[in-house]
Amino acid sequence: MGWWRSYAGDGRFSSSTLTVLIGTFVVLWLLWAIKKQRKAAVPPLPPGPRGLPIVGYLPFVGTELHTKFHQLCGIYGPIYKVWLGNKLSIVISSPSLVKEVVRDQDAIFSNHDTNIVGRIVTYGGADIALSMNCPNWKMLRKIFVREMSSPANLDSTWALRVEEVRNTIRNVYDKKGTHIDLGDLAFITVMNAIMNMLWGGTLRGEEGAKFRAEFKHIFTELLIILGKPNVSDLFPALAKFDLQGIGRKAKKISEDIDGVVDYAIDKQIKSLAKAKEEGTTKTKQKDFLQVLLELKEQDDGAPSMSMTQLKAVVFDIVVAGSDTTTAMSEWVMARLLKHPEIMRKVTEELTEIVGLDNLVEECHLPKLHYLEVVIKETFRLHPPSPFLLLRTPSESSIIGGYLVPKGSSIFLHIWAIQRDPKYWDNPLEFKPERFLNDAYGRIDYSGNNFKYLPFGSGRRICAGLALGERTLKYILASLLHSYEWKLPQGSEIEFSDTYGVITKKKNPTIAIPTQGYPSLSSTHNSTM
């Protein structure tokens, strides 16, 4: 009697049972085959270095992340993964793959990967830089680009910029022949210019000077903790313990900034209310704060920003505008001091366009073509943010044939791309003339050429590009036209850098200003 029989003599039942068993086996085999096929269809993660349990590759990256990631690119190719703590990071270092992120799949990759300090000081990511891609972000960006950094508004705030830059020129006049730290000089000039544009029409005289000094002190403290690696970012499960105390420091600084900004806002609101009550219009120069408050109170049916968003935008202007412009001012001056023949061409152009008996005006800037390519070349070799702001995909995606999981950190390695010999001739050579020839002459800051992206590309391209470009060029033109600069006897310039939120020159750039032009005597004696 066969083992498949249920009971004696029932052959029909055993045949049916066998049919069911075979059918079940076939169905299970088909399901297994389909699952295997689907699994095989999911692309793998990018290659990458092995790390240690828990900490991943973190112990091996060192402090100069941009150079270490460049080395790994030579081993693993233009896209690879690296675990930093329990955070999966994807590093991309080819123009074509960057294009997939910032243009082809921009909607998926349009959110920035924020850290704890960033979220705290921007009121939970209520600003333009760190806000999620949402209607509020679109509204803020539209307001900033259209109202704050439009050509008309930048023209109208010219007087507020020129006041502080010429203050610097006068101060240098008293220090001719002495050693000057160009990084410190740039920081003071940029911070004063930015704050004068922000609330120079609101806070004047002794009150304004005290206010700015307090804000600069707070801002300097913030820059220190912004550049510190935070264990809480790399191991989110530990964030509640704030082991390094960075979160607590950030909250204290945020409260201090909030108090300072509240004071300026309250002052401006009272001034506007008084003018409205008297039926008059404020005749003084409009600063950014007044423009923002007027936009907030507009009643034209369009969405308007909240007070929290307004303060977050003020924070963006100060941080993005000052730190980037300060670092780039020093890098440009360092490159020119290293290459006196290039500096001579810049000063000759300034003499031709501006004239020996005149000070630089903003109308001169579009005509300074050689200074423009010097700045472009410096941005190529020293992009202020080597990876731009980190992005994170809102859903899992495919880049370069590899899986990029939702929530991973995306490092767009602009620093490596802009030094890659596949895309640039003699890439480590400082050669501004490359931007005057046919091959590179049409490259600009707009983000349309993916081998040159110092300000990013796509919908998250730097919103303050126009303001930063104008301020940087004006400061440099003024310093270079007003004085001749030389290195101290026996000193040399080197170009090692320190990685951080903004990558800065590791060692200070010291220079000596000599021979001011005749026009400086009237500037020095003026009260402005």
* Domain containing residue 193: CATH number: 1.10.630.10
Per mean pLDDT, which of 85-94, 194-203, 435-444 is the most reliable? 85-94
Percent of the chain with pLDDT over 70: 87
Segment holding 218, helix H or strand E: helix 205-226
pLDDT at 209 over 80: no
pLDDT of residue 497: 94
Is the model's pLDDT at 100 over the cut of 80? Answer: yes
- The alpha carbon of 187 is separated from its chain's Cα centroid by a whole number of angstroms, namely 17
Q: 13 and 111, same structural domain? A: no
Asked whether residue 321 falls in the same domain as residue 417, the answer is yes
**Are the C-beta atoms of residues 232 and 238 closer than 8 Å to each other?**
yes
Q: Who wins on pLDDT, 482 or 5?
A: 482
Residue 216 clears pLDDT 90, i.e. is over it: no
Confidence label for 328 from pLDDT (cuts 50, 70 and 90): very high
Q: With 50 as the cut, is the pLDDT of residue 94 above it?
A: yes
| Burial class, 466, CB count within 10 angstroms (exposed 0-12 / middle 13-18 / buried 19+) | middle
Please give the pLDDT value at position 2: 41
Which whole number is the average pLDDT over 242-269?
90
> Is residue 7 over pLDDT 90?
no
Residue closest to 415 by CA, chosen among 81, 143, 65? 65
pLDDT of res. 123: 93
Examine the pLDDT at 528 and tell me if it is beyond 60: no
Average pLDDT of the segment spanning 150-157: 87
**Domain assignment of residue 110, yes or no:** yes
Residue 291, pLDDT score: 86
Nearest Cα to 128, choosing from 305, 249, 352? 305
Average pLDDT over residues 422-430: 96
- pLDDT category of residue 4 using cuts at 50, 70 and 90: very low
Average pLDDT over residues 27-34: 64
pLDDT in tens, 337-380: 999 999 999 999 999 999 988 999 989 999 999 999 999 999 99
Report the pLDDT value the prediction gives residue 29, as an integer from 0 to 100. Answer: 62
User: Are 9 and 140 part of one and the same domain?
Assistant: no
Q: Is residue 56 part of a domain?
A: no
Question: Taking each helix axis from N to C terminus, what angle separates 307-338 and 246-277, rounded to the nearest 10 degrees?
Answer: 110
pLDDT mean over 255-270: 87
Higher pLDDT, 210 or 55: 55
Q: Which two tokens stand for residue 267?
A: 């002052």
Contact 436, 420 (CB under 8 A): no
Select the more confidently predicted residue: 150 or 337. Answer: 337
CA angle 307, 308, 311 (to 5 degrees): 85
Same domain, 113 and 244: yes
Phi, psi of 169 (to 5 degrees): -60, -40
Range with the lowest mean pLDDT among 32-46, 158-172, 503-517?
A: 32-46
Q: Are strands 484-486 and 409-412 parallel, antiparallel or unpaired?
A: unpaired
| DSSP notation for 465-527 | HHHHHHHHHHHHHHHHHH-EEEPPTT------EE-SSS-EESS--EEEEE---THHHHHHH--
Identify which has the larger pLDDT, 156 or 208: 156
Give the three-class secondary structure for 82.
Answer: strand
Whether residue 217 is found in the same domain as residue 155: yes
Domain residues for the domain of 306 are 63-525
* 37-51, 150-164, 295-309, 499-513, range with greatest mean pLDDT: 499-513
Mean pLDDT of 401-420: 98
Per-residue confidence (pLDDT) for residue 200, from 0 to 100:
76
Say if residue 180 is in the same domain as residue 111: yes
Evaluate if residue 9 carries a pLDDT over 50.
no
Pair 480, 381 in one domain: yes
Average pLDDT over residues 156-178: 90
Whole-angstrom distance, CA of residue 139 vs CA of residue 309: 11
* 17 and 85 co-located in one domain: no
Asked if residue 24 and residue 95 are part of one domain, the reply reads: no
Tokens 């550049």 correspond to 227
Cβ within 8 Å of residue 20, ≥6 positions away: none
What is the distance between the alpha carbons of residues 105 and 415, in angstroms, rounded to a whole number? 22
Q: What is the pLDDT of residues 466-508, one digit of tens each?
A: 999 999 999 999 999 999 999 999 999 999 999 888 899 999 9
Instruction: Decide if 340 is inside a domain.
Output: yes
The two structure tokens encoding residue 225: 């903790």
Has residue 11 got a pLDDT over 60? no
Query: Is there a single domain that holds both residue 13 and residue 162?
Result: no
- Residue 101: inside a domain, yes or no? yes
Distance CA 236, CA 234 (A): 6
* Mean pLDDT of the region 248-264: 90
**DSSP structural state of residue 399:** E
Tell me: pLDDT of 169 over 50.
Answer: yes
Please name the helix (run of DSSP H) or strand (run of DSSP E) that holds residue 403, with its range, or none.
Answer: strand 402-404
- 144 and 4 part of one domain: no
Contact (CB, 8 A) for 190 and 467: no
Find the mean pLDDT for residues 126-137. 93
Q: Name the average pLDDT for the chain.
A: 87
* Mean pLDDT of the 121-133 span: 93
pLDDT tops 50 at residue 6 = no
pLDDT at position 201? 66
* Residue 7 belongs to some domain of the structure: yes
Question: If we measure between CA atoms, which residue out of 180, 216, 182, 181 comes closest to residue 196?
Answer: 216
Q: In which band, very low, low, confident or very high, does the pLDDT at 387 lie, cut at 50, 70 and 90?
A: very high
d(CA 224, CA 229): 11
- Cα separation, 485 vs 513, in Å, equals 5
Average pLDDT over residues 31-57: 80
More confident residue, 218 or 232: 232
Higher pLDDT, 455 or 229: 455
Query: pLDDT band at 527, cuts 50/70/90?
Result: very low
User: What's the pLDDT at 111?
Assistant: 96
State the CB neighbour count (10 A cutoff) for residue 36. 10
Whole-angstrom distance, CA of residue 455 vs CA of residue 77? 24
Please state the domain count of the chain.
2
Domain-located, residue 404: yes
Q: Both 483 and 380 in a single domain?
A: yes
| Helix, strand, or coil (residue 432) | helix
Residue 525 has pLDDT above 60, yes or no: no
The per-residue pLDDT for 319 is 81
Identify the weakest region by mean pLDDT among 66-70, 212-216, 231-235, 473-477.
212-216
Mean pLDDT across the stretch 158-170? 90
Q: Per the domain annotation, does 203 fall within a domain? A: yes
Whether 301 is in a domain gets the answer yes
Residue 130: pLDDT band with limits 50, 70, 90: very high
In DSSP notation, 256-303 reads HHHHHHHHHHHHHHHHHHHHHHTT----SPPPHHHHHHHHHT--SSS-
